[in-house]
Amino acid sequence: MASTPPLSFSQALSAPMTGSDALAAGGLTPAFSPLYQQIKGLILQSLQSGEWKPGEAIPSEMDLAARFRVSQGTVRKAIDELSAENLVVRRQGKGTFVATHAEQQVQYRFLKLQPDNGDTQSEGPAERNIIDCKRLRASADIARSLSLRSGDPVLQVRRVLSFSGVPTILEDLWLPGAPFKGLTAERLSNYNGPMYALFETEFGVRMVRADESIRAVNPDTEQAALLQVAMATPLLSVERVAYTYNDTPMELRRGLYRTDTHHYRNVLS
Amino acid sequence: MASTPPLSFSQALSAPMTGSDALAAGGLTPAFSPLYQQIKGLILQSLQSGEWKPGEAIPSEMDLAARFRVSQGTVRKAIDELSAENLVVRRQGKGTFVATHAEQQVQYRFLKLQPDNGDTQSEGPAERNIIDCKRLRASADIARSLSLRSGDPVLQVRRVLSFSGVPTILEDLWLPGAPFKGLTAERLSNYNGPMYALFETEFGVRMVRADESIRAVNPDTEQAALLQVAMATPLLSVERVAYTYNDTPMELRRGLYRTDTHHYRNVLS
DNA sequence: CAGTGGTCTAGACCACTGG
DNA sequence: CAGTGGTCTAGACCACTGC
């Protein structure tokens, strides 16, 4: 790694900053962001480029400060924000690590459904059952959600999650074909652990953020059969788009949740 | 306000801190929090006690630093957290202000339902229609949600929100009787603006956080009639408990949302 | 013990607001 | 212009980790 990377902001040896230099190079906008934001951007670039992989430690604050020719405090503030966005995890005495799904106790990163007796542990892990997994061409709406063109190759997966033997979640998910070349039903069903962990380790795709939109619906015949409920049963329809670092959508998920024994929990602040 | 308030942590004139003094007084736990956390706690106390009211400015960072005998940076870090929790709003050049619902453009603080054409503006403000408002005694489950005893007096309100003339949300809400003494159906329906703003200005109750649990359900006959939908229509059932400063529950809300033209939007990170 | 992140300070200057 | 929050620095020491 270069020890003197090309910082595009001018920084005289003892002139803190002027506030109007910065990453404006190449942009017409006044740009004009504080130093720590620029540092944050540079660190983010290294995260995206894979310079440091999920689970690995990034350089120490002192090292980064030296690399970027700024004070430790400035690096610190940059990392503070990355940490607040869950892109990075600090561990006192050890270092700062790229966030990862692989070595993580939480089984489901974005799943907000939980048993009515809040006891997530007692119900044990979900049984995962892959119904279908095939490659096809993106329909118009799938393509739009994934920022693809219709007809682009996508991978479609359908699976059922059961808790204590009760089928509770029916999920259809679509992945852009290109980044997930080589993903098959077998790879998926043989893999033990979070799906997002597999995406990370095998395809270098880390999910960072997601948007959900939720509705109440009735299932069609096939959905009702897979979830073993009557067609009149109201279900939660959860459409989720998950994004990687640079806000690129990498997964579309359409879930049907049974809410007779579970509920979707959300904290507002 | 006392210029030399009783700080329970010992601080010699130039000894930064030892880390093991602090607010442990009165507690058996090792306690043991950093200075800025203690400062944050003290500011929080002042917020709760109403020393600074919603919308008002709190003292400047320099003033607070002098008051608490710490550096500006330490006060700053405390306020940073309060700001991140939306308890306080910073405005450069002006000061730091207690967060408020009153002078705020967002009509609905915790409502995550939005029109399918993301255009929140075009649909205009909701028509609010209070169906019912009465005082009664808390049932067991209402009492539990509000941390009351069953039989304690509560205020119950039922209302319908319509967008563009279409009834979309049916809400039942319960408020603890004591803090909301004097609240009547008339006060509610005559009031223009967010309900939470009225709670603030008239009753000094500021909602700070909320938990929601969401299900898909069918309405009963009465609910269906009020929302003008068939009984077979799947609806979103949203139960929300809203809390004041010290995590005291102050409102229970049970909403039924139509999701044919709107959806519940959520951001996960 | 050295190395890491975490806290605290003191002082400088910038950017914004309002009189 | 003075006052406020916002950024940046340099240096000190604390708490935790692992050798």
Strand C and B14 CB separated by under 7 Å:
yes
pLDDT at A261 over 70: yes
Residue A211: strand pairing partners: A241, B267
C1' of C9 to CA of A76 (Å): 17
The answer to whether A146 and A154 have CB atoms below 8 angstroms apart is yes
φ, ψ (nearest 5 deg) of residue A202: -95, -30
Query: What is residue A8's predicted lDDT score, i.e. its pLDDT?
Result: 38
pTM recorded for the entire structure: 0.88
Chain B residues with CB under 8 Å of a chain A CB are 84-86, 110, 112, 208-218, 232, 234-237, 240, 257, 259, 263-269
The dihedral region occupied by A254, where left means phi > 0, alpha psi between -120 and 50, and beta the remainder, is: beta
B118 vs A224, higher pLDDT: A224
- Nearest CA-CA partner of B174 in B202, B211, B133: B133
3-state secondary structure chain A: CCCCCCCCCCCCCCCCCCCCCHHHCCCCCCCCCCHHHHHHHHHHHHHHHCCCCCCCEECCHHHHHHHHCCCHHHHHHHHHHHHHCCCEEEECCCEEEECCCCCCCCCCCCCCEEECCCCCCCCCCCEEEEEEEEEEECCHHHHHHCCCCCCCEEEEEEEEEEECCEEEEEEEEEEECCCCCCCCHHHHHHCCCCHHHHHHHHHCCCCCEEEEEEEEECCCHHHHHHHCCCCCCCEEEEEEEEECCCCCEEEEEEEEECCCCEEEEEEEC
Q: Do B266 and A266 touch (CB under 8 A)?
A: yes
Distance B16 CA to D18 C1' (A): 28
The nucleotide whose C1' lies nearest the CA of A14 is D9
CATH 1.10.10.10 residue window(s) in chain B: 9-98
Q: What angle do CA A156, A235, A248 make, to 5 degrees?
A: 40
Nearest-CA distance B139 → chain A (Å): 20
Q: State whether residue B169 is helix, strand or coil.
A: strand
All CATH 3.40.1410.10 domain ranges of chain A, comma separated, are 104-264
Quote the pLDDT of residue A215.
98
Q: What is the pLDDT of residues A156-207, one digit of tens each?
A: 999 999 999 999 999 999 999 999 998 988 888 888 888 999 999 999 999 9
Distance CA A203, CA A182 (A): 9
More confident residue, A3 or B231: B231
Determine the length of chain B.
269
Neighbours of A68 (CB within 10 A): 21
Terminal Cα distance for chain B, rounded: 41
Q: List chain B residues with pLDDT less than 50.
A: 1-29
Residue-level pLDDT at B107: 76
Nearest-neighbour CA in chain A from B236: distance (Å): 5
Mean pLDDT of A46-66: 96
Q: What's the whole-number average pLDDT of chain A?
A: 88
**Among A72-76, A263-267, B91-95, B196-200, which is the least confidently predicted range?**
B196-200
The pLDDT confidence band at residue A28, using thresholds 50, 70 and 90, is very low
In the structure, what pLDDT confidence band is assigned to residue A31 with cuts at 50, 70 and 90? Answer: low
Of A3-17, A76-90, B137-151, the range with the lowest mean pLDDT is A3-17
How much is the pLDDT for A119? 79
CATH fold group of domain B9-98: Arc Repressor Mutant, subunit A (1.10.10)
Residue B32, CA distances (Å) to A213, B8, B18, B179 in order: 42, 12, 9, 34
In angstroms, the CA A173 to CA A133 distance is 9
pLDDT of residue B34: 94
Residue A58 pLDDT > 60: yes
Q: Which residues of A in 20-59 have their CB below 7 Å from strand D's atoms?
A: 34-37
- CATH, domain A104-264, list 3.50.50.60, 3.40.50.11140, 3.30.9.10, 3.40.1410.10: 3.40.1410.10
B91 touches strand C (CB under 7 A): yes
Q: Give A209's contacts in chain B (Cβ within 8 Å).
A: 267-269
Contact predicate B217/B235, CB 8 Å = yes
Chain C nucleotides near the protein (CB, 7 A): 3-18
pLDDT (tens digit per residue) in A111-165: 999 999 877 777 878 899 999 999 999 999 999 999 999 999 999 999 999 999 9
pLDDT at A25 over 70: no
Contacts of B223 in chain A (CB under 8 A): none
Q: What percent of chain A has pLDDT over 70?
A: 88
Please tell me whether any atom of strand C lies within 7 Å of the Cβ of B68.
Answer: no
